[in-house]
Amino acid sequence: FDSICQPSIGLTKKYPQYQSNVITLNGAYVDGGSLSDTEWKTVVIPTSDFTTEQWTDVKGVKDIHFRNCGTGYSVNPTYQVRSLKLTDIPPDIQVAPVTLSPTKFPTPAPTTPLPTRMPTSVPSFVPTDDYWPVWETSVDDHTQENPDKTCFVNQDRLNIASASDADAEYFTIQTDKWAGGGILFGCQLKDSNYNCIESCFGWDGLKPDWSEKGYLTFLAKIEGDFTETCQ
């Protein structure tokens, strides 16, 4: 059968083991409608679009996964990602028609978004609590307590690494036919008393509750062959 490789992402939950709705990175989710291999594009995804009939609240997220396309393709996506955050106030993007996920219709980002909660007084700056920085710099590659403890999924296999250009730092995930990669959340190591001693985002040992924020947003580039058909 014929199929076009579409870069996509999803979430997983550890207990119970759930997979989120898979979000295809095009259309209404991406500024201008599609990702590019030469230009950083803004991606905005309502967190509610990850929900499923089983996983209705997107609480207890174990990881975010940048997905491969499988064995039917000689080249799978290479993702470059920066400024990954959860926010109440997403950036504006120019939306385009979306390629629908097979399990759920996407919700286009509003052109004039409102925060999910209002501050008690009008601040002179945007309070940091209005967004959660999931990955901003290479410091977020690993747990805060141990620089040798990675916060990436399949780091060694997929050569996941952070780098920088003239604007900011970013990380690269070079997926293969059998595996994608991503970012781990919550506790990664406990002591003999079951106290968390090494943690990735949100740095408190807990799996984050994505339902507390309205949107996932990041900048991305994509490389790969997205026209070759499955054999």
Place of tokens 């967004």: 131
Does residue 82 contact residue 40 with C-beta atoms inside 8 Å?
yes
Q: List, for residues 139-163, the tens digit of each pLDDT value.
A: 999 998 999 999 999 999 999 999 9
CA atoms of 180 and 91, how far apart (whole Å): 27
Mean pLDDT of 219-228: 74
Looking at residue 2, its pLDDT comes to 35
Q: Which has the closest alpha carbon to 10: 170, 212, 153, 176?
A: 153
> What is residue 132's DSSP assignment?
E
Q: Is the per-residue pLDDT at 125 higher than 80? A: no
Looking at residue 119, its pLDDT comes to 38
Q: What is the pTM of this model?
A: 0.80
Q: Is the per-residue pLDDT at 127 higher than 50? A: no
Looking at residue 109, its pLDDT comes to 45
Three-class SS state of 68: coil
pLDDT band at 225 (very low <50, low <70, confident <90, very high): low
Q: Which residues have CB under 8 Å from 118's CB, separation 6+?
A: none
- Mean pLDDT: which of 62-66, 71-75, 113-117 is highest? 62-66
Looking at residue 15, its pLDDT comes to 84
How far, CA to CA in Å, does 103 sit from each of 16, 24, 226? 20, 11, 21
Q: List, for residues 81-93, the tens digit of each pLDDT value.
A: 999 999 999 999 9
Mean pLDDT of 184-194: 93
Looking at residue 227, its pLDDT comes to 44
